[in-house]
């Protein structure tokens, strides 16, 4: 299923083995409204947002939505999508429903620019990293649970000014990871919310700085704590 125009699109029902692609040159946002949608792709990403001014995944109130990829991918090049939800432009997730994302191949949610979670119940399971925003990852609300074999939350851009950071200003986060709970190429900023981390390595890894101004942070069974 390929979306080629900006606008709002409601997805409901089951896609047992396929892919939803957003590829538009239009100005304006693309809203993917998930309304009890179950999207599975056995040999690639289930949602690929290739081109859009801004992409938003909206979780309809009272619904449960699932996005799952396969354990093997047909396309495995360096620039090919490698997560259950993959976005090249900025991605925002919001709404009052539930989103369950399983990344069987690599990551669960991966944004080449920024990823922002505003609201909703987000449950993530990933073979490697849970939620990755290359330029930035921000969580302002919602309930986010991550179980990751690698890092739970990650931002990797260390070459551009004001990029590579993770910013938590609200919400309830429960993070379990085989590696780091937070892994930021630059800063981790926590100014609100409730955060619990169980990490195989560092609970919070930030370079050069970690700033906690408010909120509640619990690091359990972490290797070095910070």
DSSP string, 59-109: E-TT-EEEEE--SS-S---TTS--EEEEESS-EEEEESSEEEEEESSSEEE
Torsion of CA 85, 90, 96, 100, to 10 degrees: 10
Given this model, what pLDDT does residue 78 score?
80
Biggest alpha carbon–alpha carbon distance for the chain: 48
pLDDT in tens, 54-103: 999 999 999 999 999 999 999 888 889 999 999 999 999 999 999 999 99
Q: What is the dihedral of CA 181, 199, 57, 21, to 10 degrees?
A: 100
What share of the chain has pLDDT > 70, as a percent?
97
DSSP 3-state of 6: coil
pLDDT digits (tens, 9 = 90+) for 21-48: 999 999 999 999 999 999 999 999 999 9
């Amino acid at each position: 299923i390929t979306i080629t125009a900006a606008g709002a699109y409601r997805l409901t029902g089951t896609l047992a083995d396929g892919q939803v692609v957003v590829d538009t040159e239009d100005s304006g946002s693309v809203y993917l409204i998930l309304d009890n949608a179950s999207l599975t792709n056995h040999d690639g990403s289930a949602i690929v947002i290739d081109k859009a001014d801004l992409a938003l995944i909206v979780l309809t109130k009272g619904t449960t939505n699932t996005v799952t990829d396969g354990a093997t991918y047909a396309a495995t090049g360096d620039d090919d999508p490698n997560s259950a939800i993959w976005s090249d432009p900025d991605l925002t997730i919001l709404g009052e429903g539930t989103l369950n994302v399983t990344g069987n191949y690599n990551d669960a949610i991966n944004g080449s620019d920024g990823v922002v979670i505003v609201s909703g119940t987000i449950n993530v399971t990933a073979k490697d990293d849970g939620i990755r925003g290359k330029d930035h990852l921000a969580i302002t609300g919602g309930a986010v649970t991550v179980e990751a074999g690698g890092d739970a939350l990650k931002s990797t851009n260390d070459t551009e000014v004001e990029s590579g950071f993770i910013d938590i200003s609200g919400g309830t986060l429960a993070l379990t990871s085989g590696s780091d709970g937070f892994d930021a190429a630059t800063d981790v900023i926590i100014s609100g919310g409730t955060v619990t981390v169980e990490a195989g390595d560092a609970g919070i890894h930030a370079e050069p700085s970690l700033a906690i101004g408010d909120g509640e942070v619990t690091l359990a069974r972490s290797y070095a704590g910070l």
